[in-house]
């Protein structure tokens, strides 16, 4: 990054990349950002930031930004730049035409975890009040929807239980399916610091990440399981705890539903759940599982941190509940230093879920079928709401292919690149009659769009993000929107054109409405956030200062509920044709589909996705580091360069997915979580063979 001058003033805002939610200071010269530095009083980051937050903000003024609305009648036509009035009027007329022809439920909307709470709230309000249905979903569908389901079912709230600072009290850290060094770097550093201070570390991961044996910390145990066997492993850990008398009987007796616990205990004690019986499934030696379980149950304060390696599976929700079972059985929940801690991928995954982006839930995770809560929103919004849940994203695709879903408003989300089985997504989008994409760049999804509405980056708007520890932080506008309007204003215009007036002069007023209608947000306001820096929900009459640790005296649902977690093997099995399992992850300098980071200097650190393969598998195929390899699955094929490394176990290959040309989601399949439809990105049976340079 080249500094373009000395700063004249600065604005405190929140990083728009990962779920750590670092507070940053944009140092400005006029309306130009000179540099981005970590805010030393940031409550989530304590004065630290990573290479994404610090250096990867230049995309905001990149030449690829689209700043004029565009329309086209057919996706084969060239784009035509038009005024905002014409673009919004065209989109609204098309949506109404489609509904008149195909019915009220033939259109829907997708909210983004990249956008602010206020913007997400408005999109779901638009769908429910102006579209008149519940066909709204969020990109959290493809990452942490099992967290929402699993934690709501077991402990009563769809959110992590702790504050990041809580790790300072932790004696034993178990990291499952997460690589915080790359995915959540500032928290990853905090975790390593705690290990260096003496906390023990267990890593559960198919890949040998740097937490296992990196330069800074070493894990006591690395349970290097096969992809797709999480639930068998968590059951084996629980089996050890139950059969070796390590259950915290006092905690369970006082805090949990007795009958459900006893049923779970009887199930988990069965011989088929023992470490010995499951070793053939997981590939993890029984003695390692037993030792890890003993350590987790007896170390004092034990905390579990998990990521997408838990959720993005056909049994993602089951695994989240398995983790909650472990924490409850050992009394490791409800105080500092312990807990169940999902490491959220995107900056506002937590917030987009909180704001009612799911087709079955209004803001605050209240089911749309509840007459009382629906009446509350009907009175506030002056509309009648539909009581039946709407379509999830994959259901929208299916409905598009059967001809009943024809129009989509997609804000800040590139579903073509980020959702699995790209061919299926493309076919579904091709069969729709009006797709409105609102984004800062012409992304892959825009190739199928009829209306393009220029989006605004986090530097161009006011609002709030909510991080992985439920911390609500202010996003502050540091420069005017390049296209003239912030995303929230565009949604207002679209709603108005559809005949449903929404009237807010500033995002603070949207937050005031959220606070009025959402019990866990009753105490939240911009005034409070400006005064305190941030606050963790629930923040209301009972908790005016917010809630760093949840479930302290009682679980949100009352008594904690153990759930039986039967292991079911993934549909993706190795065969002679597809003898390897592909799993996916992230790298430090890049972010998700790379739309932003690829357009910054960070690309110098990492300019392509590579296929990591174990030396044994590489040698068998005549592959060396740097060779081009073809990867084929049941869904499709792509080509990458290979990286031969012992970080992989034999039989398992791995890639990141930051570059569209690598086409990782061309090969992932449509297999998904049984409860939430979260895609099974982490398990794909593939063949890998050398190919010529494409
Ligand atoms: Fe912090 Fe995450 Fe942003 Fe890095 S990407 S600065 S860890 S919020």
Residue 65 has which token pair?
Answer: 């930004």
Whole-Å CA distances, 427 to 69, 213, 536? 25, 44, 42
Report how far residue 506's alpha carbon sits from residue 475's, in angstroms, rounded to the nearest whole number: 13
Q: Does domain 146-342 fall into CATH 3.40.50.740?
A: no
Phi, psi (deg, nearest 5) at residue 129: -95, -40
pLDDT tens-place string over residues 502-548: 999 999 999 999 999 999 999 999 999 999 999 999 999 999 999 99
Q: How buried is 378 (Cβ within 10 angstroms: 0-12 exposed, 13-18 middle, 19+ buried)?
A: middle
19 lines ligand 1 (CB under 6 A): no
Best mutation site among 13, 19, 22, 602 for ligand 1 pocket (most ligand atoms within 8 Å of CB): 22
Q: Are 546 and 165 in contact (CB under 8 A)?
A: no
Report the range of poorest mean pLDDT among 19-23, 144-148, 206-210, 460-464: 144-148
Q: Give me the numbers of helices (H) and strands (E) for the chain, helices first please.
A: 24, 26
306 lines ligand 1 (CB under 6 A): no
Atom of ligand 1 nearest to the CA of 20: 8
Residue 72 pLDDT greater than 60, yes or no? yes
Residue 344, helix vs strand vs coil:
coil
- Sheet of 23-29, strand order: 9-14, 23-29, 32-38
Q: Domain 70-143+348-507's class? A: alpha beta
Residue 576 pLDDT greater than 50, yes or no? yes
45 lines ligand 1 (CB under 6 A): yes
Q: CB 382: neighbour CB atoms within 10 A?
A: 10
Q: Are strands 23-29 and 407-411 parallel, antiparallel or unpaired?
A: unpaired
186 lines ligand 1 (CB under 6 A): yes
Question: Which residue's CA is the closest to the ligand 1 atom numbered 2?
Answer: 18
Q: Are 436 and 134 in contact (CB under 8 A)?
A: no
Phi, psi (deg, nearest 5) at residue 472: -95, 120
pLDDT tier at 600, thresholds 50, 70, 90: confident
Tell me, in angstroms, the distance from the centre of ligand 1 to residue 206's CA: 25
Contacts of 337 (CB under 8 A, 6+ apart): 166, 167, 168, 169, 170, 171, 300, 301, 303
Mean pLDDT along residues 281-294: 98
Atom of ligand 1 nearest to the CA of 54: 6
Residue 601 pLDDT greater than 80, yes or no? no
Report the range of poorest mean pLDDT among 210-214, 223-227, 672-676: 672-676
Tell me, in angstroms, the distance from the centre of ligand 1 to residue 305's CA: 17
21 lines ligand 1 (CB under 6 A): yes
pLDDT at position 589 is 64
Tell me, in angstroms, the distance from the centre of ligand 1 to residue 20's CA: 6
pLDDT tens-place string over residues 141-162: 777 788 989 999 999 988 899 9
pLDDT at position 368 is 96
Report how far residue 7's alpha carbon sits from residue 4's, in angstroms, rounded to the nearest whole number: 9
- CA distance from start to end of the chain: 32
Which residue bears the tokens 């915080």? 180
Tell me, in angstroms, the distance from the centre of ligand 1 to residue 42's CA: 12
One-character DSSP codes across 103-143: -GGGEEEEE-TTS-HHHHHHHHHIIIIII-S--EEEGGGGT
Q: Please name the helix (run of DSSP H) or strand (run of DSSP E) that holds residue 17, with its range, or none.
A: none
pLDDT tens-place string over residues 311-370: 888 899 999 999 999 999 999 999 999 999 999 878 898 999 999 999 999 999 999 999
Beta bridge partners of 342: 306
498 lines ligand 1 (CB under 6 A): no
Question: Which residue's CA is the closest to the ligand 1 atom numbered 3?
Answer: 53
Tell me, in angstroms, the distance from the centre of ligand 1 to residue 395's CA: 32
pLDDT at position 287 is 98
Average pLDDT value over all residues in the chain: 93
Atom of ligand 1 nearest to the CA of 53: 6
Q: Domain 580-690's class? A: mainly beta
Best mutation site among 12, 53, 588 for ligand 1 pocket (most ligand atoms within 8 Å of CB): 53
Q: Does domain 9-61 fall into CATH 2.20.25.90?
A: yes
Whole-Å CA distances, 386 to 360, 369, 491, 533, 650? 10, 8, 21, 38, 51
Sketch the domain layout of the chain as residue ranges.
9-61, 70-143+348-507, 146-342, 580-690
Mean pLDDT along residues 261-284: 98
pLDDT at position 1 is 42
Contacts of 638 (CB under 8 A, 6+ apart): 630, 631, 662, 663, 664, 666, 667
Q: Is the dihedral of CA 437, 147, 683, 657 positive or negative?
A: positive
Which residue in 173, 340, 333, 372 sits closest to 248, CA to CA?
333
Residue 683, helix vs strand vs coil:
coil
Is the entire prediction scored with pTM above 0.90? yes
275 lines ligand 1 (CB under 6 A): no
Report how far residue 358's alpha carbon sits from residue 353's, in angstroms, rounded to the nearest whole number: 7
β strands within 476-559, DSSP E: 534-536
Residue 575 has which token pair?
Answer: 């065969």
Beta bridge partners of 555: 558
| Largest Cα–Cα separation, the chain | 70
Phi, psi (deg, nearest 5) at residue 305: -115, 130
15 lines ligand 1 (CB under 6 A): yes
Tell me, in angstroms, the distance from the centre of ligand 1 to residue 21's CA: 6
């Amino acid at each position: 990054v080249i500094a373009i001058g000395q700063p004249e003033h600065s604005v405190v805002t929140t990083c728009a990349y990962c779920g750590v939610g670092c507070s940053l200071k944009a140092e400005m010269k006029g309306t130009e950002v000179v540099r981005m530095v970590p805010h030393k009083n940031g409550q989530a980051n304590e004065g630290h930031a990573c290479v994404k937050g610090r250096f990867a903000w230049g995309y905001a003024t990149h030449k690829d930004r689209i700043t004029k609305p565009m329309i086209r009648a057919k996706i084969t036509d060239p784009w035509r730049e038009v005024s905002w009035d014409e673009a919004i009027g065209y989109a609204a007329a098309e949506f109404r035409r489609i509904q008149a022809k195909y019915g009220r439920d033939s259109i829907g909307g997708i909210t983004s975890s990249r956008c602010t709470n206020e913007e997400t709230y408005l999109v779901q309000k638009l769908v429910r009040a102006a579209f008149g249905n519940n066909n709204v979903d969020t990109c959290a569908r493809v990452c942490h929807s099992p967290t929402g389901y699993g934690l709501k079912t077991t402990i009563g709230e769809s959110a992590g239980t702790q504050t990041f600072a809580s790790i300072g009290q932790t004696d034993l850290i178990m990291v499952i399916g997460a690589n915080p060094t790359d995915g959540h770097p500032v928290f990853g550093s905090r975790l390593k610091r705690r290990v260096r201070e003496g906390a023990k570390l267990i890593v559960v991961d198919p890949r040998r990440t740097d937490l296992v044996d990196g330069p800074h910390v070493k894990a006591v145990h690395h349970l290097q399981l096969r992809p797709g066997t999480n639930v068998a492993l968590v059951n084996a850990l629980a089996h050890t705890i139950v059969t070796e008398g390590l259950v915290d009987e006092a905690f369970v007796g006082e805090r949990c539903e007795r009958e459900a616990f006893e049923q779970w205990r009887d199930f988990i004690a069965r011989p088929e759940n023992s470490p010995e019986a499951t070793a053939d499934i997981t590939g993890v030696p029984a003695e390692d599982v037993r030792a890890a379980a003993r350590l987790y149950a007896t170390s004092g304060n034990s905390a579990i941190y998990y990521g997408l390696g838990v959720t993005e599976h056909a049994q993602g929700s089951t695994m989240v509940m398995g983790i909650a079972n472990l924490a409850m059985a050992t009394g490791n929940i409800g105080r500092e230093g312990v807990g169940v801690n999902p490491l959220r991928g995107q900056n506002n995954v937590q917030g987009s879920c909180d704001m009612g982006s799911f087709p079955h839930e209004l803001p605050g995770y209240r089911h749309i079928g509840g007459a009382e809560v629906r009446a509350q929103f009907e009175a506030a919004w002056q509309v009648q709401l539909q009581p039946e849940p709407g379509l999830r994203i994959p259901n929208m695709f299916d409905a598009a292919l059967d001809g009943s879903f024809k129009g989509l408003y997609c804000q800040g989300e590139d579903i073509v690149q980020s959702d699995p089985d790209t061919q299926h997504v493309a076919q579904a989008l091709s069969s729709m009659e009006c797709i409105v994409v609102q984004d800062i760049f012409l992304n892959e999804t825009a190739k199928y769009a009829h209306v393009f509405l220029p989006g605004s980056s986090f530097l161009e708007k006011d609002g709030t993000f909510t991080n992985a520890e439920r911390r609500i932080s202010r996003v502050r506008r540091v420069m005017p929107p390049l296209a003239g309007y912030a995303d929230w204003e565009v949604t207002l215009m679209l709603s108005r054109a559809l005949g449903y007036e929404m009237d807010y002069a500033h995002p603070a007023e949207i937050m005031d409405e959220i606070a009025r209608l959402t019990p866990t947000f009753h105490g939240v306001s911009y005034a409070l956030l400006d005064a305190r820096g941030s606050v963790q929900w629930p923040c209301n009459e009972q908790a005016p200062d917010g809630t760093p640790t949840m479930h302290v005296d009682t679980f949100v649902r009352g008594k904690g509920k153990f759930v039986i977690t039967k292991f079911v093997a993934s549909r993706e099995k190795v065969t002679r044709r597809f003898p390897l399992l592909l799993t996916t992850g992230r790298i430090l300098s890049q972010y998700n589909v790379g739309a932003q980071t690829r357009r910054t200097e960070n690309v110098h650190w990492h300019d392509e996705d590579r296929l990591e393969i174990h030396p044994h598998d590489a040698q068998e195929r005549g592959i060396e580091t740097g060779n081009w390899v073809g990867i084929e699955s049941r869904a499709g094929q792509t080509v990458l360069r290979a990286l031969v490394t012992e970080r992989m176990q034999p039989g398992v290959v791995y890639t990141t997915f930051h570059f569209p040309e690598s086409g990782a989601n061309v090969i992932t399949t449509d297999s998904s979580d049984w409860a939430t439809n979260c895609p099974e990105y982490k398990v794909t049976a593939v063949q890998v063979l050398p190919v010529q340079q494409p």
